[in-house]
Copies of this chain bind each other. A is one copy, B any other.
């Protein structure tokens, strides 16, 4: 019998009727379906949909700037090594196509899902883990516009049974005093036992002094980690801040679009926590490599995700087997689109813990109705040929 080959890769671009400038990444989605040898798998890019689709279907520019489709369609996919071989081909043949990493991430995820479904085993097992440990979810929310609003949000999170919460983005960064009030409000609302995380949303660029000025208030409120104080590539700034901060550890990595970037943030940025988005870094394979790399160096791995439960399940697979890496980003306040996208629901159990779904692959069933309800109609034509239209469900 010949090995199954990838027959189709379909991109479903979905969006809420209205998309706002809020830092809410669940307002649209790019869902990927792959099919090979009678099997099917699903993934999700954490990416701008239109440029990501374009990176799959675009005409070739030259030998090192080929569309992602060229490395994927028709490729053999029977084992985990096959997925890694396709990844290497994408990285080399599309090295000059910047968006390729985001496009490939959703496809790679779908390939693990498909392989797991074909074999009847969960993706984390294919990734080399012996078992999947439960995680402690932190509710991931935006700061309120005032400290009072933040206090109310923190109380609400606590009342819902969460042991941990992350507050992020504007107005954080406004002033040292206002930021201190915000952090104190979050701590007050969460109670003394809660695990508190702060996400600066890159607001300090590469200004180490500005970020360091926020440390005393964070130490006073027993903040566990200080996420993305800087531009995702500013490793020197991370390194300098990490040296000045012993109690509150720096965290970052969500912008990593390859394994190297995450490793550099550990090696040169000195982060205590590395946060990986499988929908950007190239999928589950490189994310798992980073999890092992982090664990060997005493750095804690955390998933990064702020979209659907499909992306959530994918994001936990790479560190499912690391028992001591316990906390897990758990987006609350998802858009209707992101909620409707999956029939499977991942929710905290009675003890407040998250369990990776049992089923094969990613263990998440996509809801075909949502693919219709939220569909964005995109057509791309090149020299008279239609190179992309929405796939049928």
A51 touches B49 (CB 8 A): no
B21 touches A63 (CB 8 A): yes
- Chain B residue numbers with a CB within 8 Å of A55 are 48, 51, 99
**Minimal beta-carbon separation of A286 from chain B (angstroms):** 11
Contact check: which of B46, B54, B98, B233 meets A50 at CB < 8 Å?
Answer: B54
Question: A378–B58 Cα gap in the complex (Å)?
Answer: 10
A 77-116 to B, binary, CB cutoff 8 A, 1 in contact else 0: 0000000000000011001111101100000000000000
- Chain B residue numbers with a CB within 8 Å of A95 are 202, 232, 255
Check A155 for interface membership: any CB of B closer than 8 A.
no
B61 touches A28 (CB 8 A): yes
Question: A2–B378 Cα gap in the complex (Å)?
Answer: 39
A62 touches B23 (CB 8 A): yes
Contact check: which of B48, B61, B261, B383 meets A65 at CB < 8 Å?
Answer: B48
B233 touches A258 (CB 8 A): yes
B233 touches A261 (CB 8 A): yes
Range for the number of chain A residues in contact with chain B: 35 or more
Contact check: which of B59, B201, B377 meets A15 at CB < 8 Å?
Answer: B59
- Chain B residue numbers with a CB within 8 Å of A347 are none
Q: Give the contacts of A254-312 with B (CB-CB under 8 A).
A: 255, 257-258, 260-261, 263-264, 267-268, 280
Check A220 for interface membership: any CB of B closer than 8 A.
no
Question: A232–B52 Cα gap in the complex (Å)?
Answer: 21
Check A234 for interface membership: any CB of B closer than 8 A.
yes
- Chain B residue numbers with a CB within 8 Å of A97 are 47-48, 51
- Chain B residue numbers with a CB within 8 Å of A376 are 59, 382-383
- Chain B residue numbers with a CB within 8 Å of A382 are 50, 376-378
B64 touches A23 (CB 8 A): yes
Contact check: which of B19, B63, B236, B257 meets A22 at CB < 8 Å?
Answer: B63
- Chain B residue numbers with a CB within 8 Å of A59 are 15, 19, 28, 49-50, 376
- When A and B form their complex, which 3 residue pairs have the shortest distance between CB atoms, in order from nearest? A233-B260, A50-B58, A21-B63
List the interface of chain A (C-beta within 8 A of B). Answer: 15, 19-25, 27-28, 46-55, 57-67, 91-92, 95-99, 101-102, 201-202, 206, 231-236, 255, 257-258, 260-261, 263-264, 267-268, 280, 376-384
